[in-house]
Structure 1
Amino acid sequence: MGRPSLAGERRGQILRAAAQSVARYGLAGTTQERIAAAAGMSRSHIRHYMGNHDELIDALWDHVITPYFEAMHAALNGHAPQERLPALVDFLFGPQMARNEDDLVIEALISGAMHDLRLRGRIYDSYSRLEREIARTVREAVPGCESAESLQIAYALICLAFGHSTLAPLPFPPSRQAGMKALAVQMLEALRPGEGRAAR
């Protein structure tokens, strides 16, 4: 019986090293030499397991963004449609979105995408998917909510949550987070059937 492939283990090791390098040196300062040194491998190993530079960066983006999608799905699973909106707000403004080293990687990749059309498209695909998933959650919880409106709400929620996360290292008082969460709740409550909605 042959030995099990080490490719998955090696890829994980390389991606962790790449994330550390991008967090420390930025995207432009992250070289294959630095990734190889951090991973304890040669440059040829990096290329063997990860492919070319673009393939490595794509895999790194998936490595840092996928856990957020998985955590959001876990936060919403098991809830009835009407209960998913409070669960969504709790997720977007809760400890799962607290800043960590992955945020440095995500921000470096987004910054790098300003000069890389291919990477920009890759990142846009992820955030567009997030927007669609949140919009679908809104429509399922609020019958009669139109697609365009749900997408606008989804985009606003993403901007509120990610903007807050980006500013979290600054010494704003804790009331700012509570204020952003309350604003998100108000925005969603305005979608509920009632006099305010009927009058539009």
Structure 2
Amino acid sequence: MGRRDMSEQRKPQIIAAAKRAISQYGIDGATQERIAEEAGMTRAHIRHYLGNRDELLDAVWEATVGDYVREVEQVTAVTGSPSTVGESFEKLLALSFVYEEDDAVILAFLHESREDERVRARTHATYAHVEERIAHLLRTAGPALSDADIATRAHALMAMSMGALMLDLLNPRAPRAERLIETAASFAPAVVRQD
């Protein structure tokens, strides 16, 4: 009888341990030794189930932002009536201005992006893709808007979302989200807003 493959059980445990270590020590300080200790495993287990450090960081990044990116893709894939586009815009804002436990992990990746080109390329690609999806939704909502105006609005929405993420780490329960969502909604073309 062969040995049972434990990867489906171990990978999520290791990724969760890596997130905790990254939240506490940053990416640079989240060594494989610390992650292994946090997971109650050995470094050899970490390497066996998730590979080298780069592969581990890729898995942590995907586990941290993957669902959000897929939800953004789904919400922004809309075409149709202004009311449908308006609903999608509201869903996008609700996704983007909510405090999540993983926000500290995202911030650690952003911080590490200043020093590590590979991490920077990975995080930038993700956020450029999300900004592109936001621009698509804005273009659908306001086809008369110029490309420059759409790009500016999409970037402003990303900047507001990232700023909220950083501020929420300081005070995660602050009643900011609703006010930010109202302000962010003003970036939508008038056809979408209920002015």
Could you tell me which runs of 5 or more consecutive residues in structure 1 were left unpaired when the two chains were aligned. 194-200
Give CA-to-partner distance per residue, 1:109-155, whole Å, 9 cap, x none.
11011111111111100000001111111112222334333222111
Contact 2:99 2:172 (8 Å CA) reproduced? no
Aligned length: 190
TM-score, with length taken from structure 2? 0.82
TM-score, with length taken from structure 1? 0.80
Aligned to 2:171: 170
Contact 1:72 1:88 (8 Å CA) reproduced? no
What is the deviation of 1:172? 9.3
Aligned to 1:138: 138
Q: CA RMSD in A?
A: 2.9
Aligned to 1:84: 85
Contact 2:141 2:188 (8 Å CA) reproduced? no
Aligned to 1:143, the other structure's residue is in SS state: coil
Q: Post-superposition, which runs of at least 4 consecutive aligned residues in structure 1 deviate over 6 A?
A: 1-4
Counterpart code for 2:118:
R
Comparing both chains, which one has the higher relative contact order based on Cα–Cα distances under 8 Å and sequence gaps of 6 or more? 2
Mapped partners of 1:21, 1:167: distance in 2:
21
Aligned to 2:51: 51
Q: Are residues 189 and 41 of structure 1, via their aligned partners in 2, closer, same or farther at CA, if it must alter by over 3 Å?
A: same
What is the deviation of 1:79? 7.7
Could you tell me which runs of 5 or more consecutive residues in structure 2 were left unpaired when the two chains were aligned. none
Q: Are residues 85 and 6 of structure 1, via their aligned partners in 2, closer, same or farther at CA, if it must alter by over 3 Å?
A: farther
Give CA-to-partner distance per residue, 1:143-173, whole Å, 9 cap, x none.
2334333222111111112212321343996
- Aligned-pair identity (%): 34
Mapped partners of 2:120, 2:58: distance in 1:
11
Aligned to 1:184: 184
Contact 2:79 2:85 (8 Å CA) reproduced? yes
Mapped partners of 1:173, 1:14: distance in 2:
31
Q: Are residues 186 and 98 of structure 1, via their aligned partners in 2, closer, same or farther at CA, if it must alter by over 3 Å?
A: closer
